[in-house]
């Protein structure tokens, strides 16, 4: 796979992620992840989720907090993708959480270790960048 194909595949992954996020359903977001999944947060704390159910519960907690704060959607920009062998990649994006009026509520950069399972990318690890 050449770089332009990899870039398109990663962009399609994150485009679908944005749609899933707008459902505010942790189970829908979790479909893009694979257990075990490890999250490294910007404060240095780590979480490991050993099952699909744990991943879904984690994302439900996250999106419930965002929704309670007035977030209604998200978007990404500055996608950068590097291949890691033939079946995986490292992708980094800058996320923005948006209010119902489209105002940016928060922004951060995050990197994702992606692996191809059954022909589609899934996340097995993510790192929030320290700002």
User: Which residue intervals of the chain are DSSP H helices?
Assistant: 3-21, 26-30, 52-68
Domain total of the chain: 1
- Residue 23's domain spans which residues? 3-128
**One digit per residue, pLDDT tens: the chain, 131 residues?**
689 999 999 999 999 999 999 999 999 999 999 999 999 999 999 999 999 999 999 999 999 999 999 999 999 999 999 999 989 999 999 999 999 999 999 999 999 999 999 999 999 999 999 87
Q: The whole model's pTM is what?
A: 0.94
What's the pLDDT score for residue 55? 98
User: Looking at residue 16, which CATH number applies to its domain?
Assistant: 3.10.450.50
Structural contact between residues 126 and 95, judged by C-beta atoms closer than 8 angstroms: no
Q: What is the number of other CB atoms lying within 10 angstroms of the CB of residue 5?
A: 9
What's the pLDDT score for residue 48? 98
Torsional sign, CA 104, 125, 18, 30: negative
Q: What is the number of other CB atoms lying within 10 angstroms of the CB of residue 40?
A: 17
């Amino acid at each position: 796979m050449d770089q332009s194909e990899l870039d398109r595949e990663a962009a399609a992954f994150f485009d679908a992620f944005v749609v899933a996020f707008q459902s505010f359903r942790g189970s829908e977001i979790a479909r893009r992840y694979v257990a075990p999944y490890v999250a490294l947060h910007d404060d240095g704390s780590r979480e490991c989720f050993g099952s699909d159910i744990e991943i879904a519960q984690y994302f439900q907690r996250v999106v419930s907090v965002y929704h309670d704060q007035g977030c209604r959607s998200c978007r990404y920009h500055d996608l950068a993708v590097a291949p890691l062998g033939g079946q995986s990649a490292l992708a980094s994006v800058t996320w923005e959480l948006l209010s119902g009026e489209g105002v940016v509520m928060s922004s951060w950069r995050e990197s994702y270790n992606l692996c191809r399972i059954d022909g589609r990318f899934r996340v097995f690890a993510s790192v929030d960048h320290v700002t």
